[in-house]
Amino acid sequence: MVPRLECNDGRSLLAAAISDMGIALEPAFVVGPAIRAGQLVQVLSDWDIATIPVHAVYPANRHIAIKVKTFVSFLVDQLSDHPDLREELG
């Protein structure tokens, strides 16, 4: 079978999947809103892919700037409650 579309851009793949051009393997934070809106349905839910960790990297030292601490705390709060960064969309 010859593919109708090959693409390495998440937004384009999302648009193609919504337009019934096939299926796309995309992270939940890309397709989550479209799934919740009923524009897409999840298929192959038993098929797992590797997770991608998120890291905040800053210089190691005893006196971390309050701006850095505040920003890292903000990231943790925002990302831990994000509906599309969970293990499953459910």
- Is residue 39 a part of any domain in this protein? yes
- Is residue 38 a part of any domain in this protein? yes
- Is residue 89 a part of any domain in this protein? no
- Is residue 60 a part of any domain in this protein? yes
Phi, psi of 61 (to 5 degrees): -165, 165
Residue 87 has pLDDT above 60, yes or no: no
CB atoms within 10 A of CB 31: 22
- Is residue 43 a part of any domain in this protein? yes
Residue 36, domain extent: 10-80
pLDDT band at 14 (very low <50, low <70, confident <90, very high): very high
Task: Name the residue with higher pLDDT: 44 or 2.
Answer: 44
Residue 89 has pLDDT above 50, yes or no: no
Mean pLDDT confidence for 65-86: 82
Please report the pLDDT score of residue 60 as a whole number.
Answer: 79
What DSSP designation does 38 have? T
How many domains does the chain contain in total?
1
Q: What is the pTM of this model?
A: 0.63
- Is residue 1 a part of any domain in this protein? no
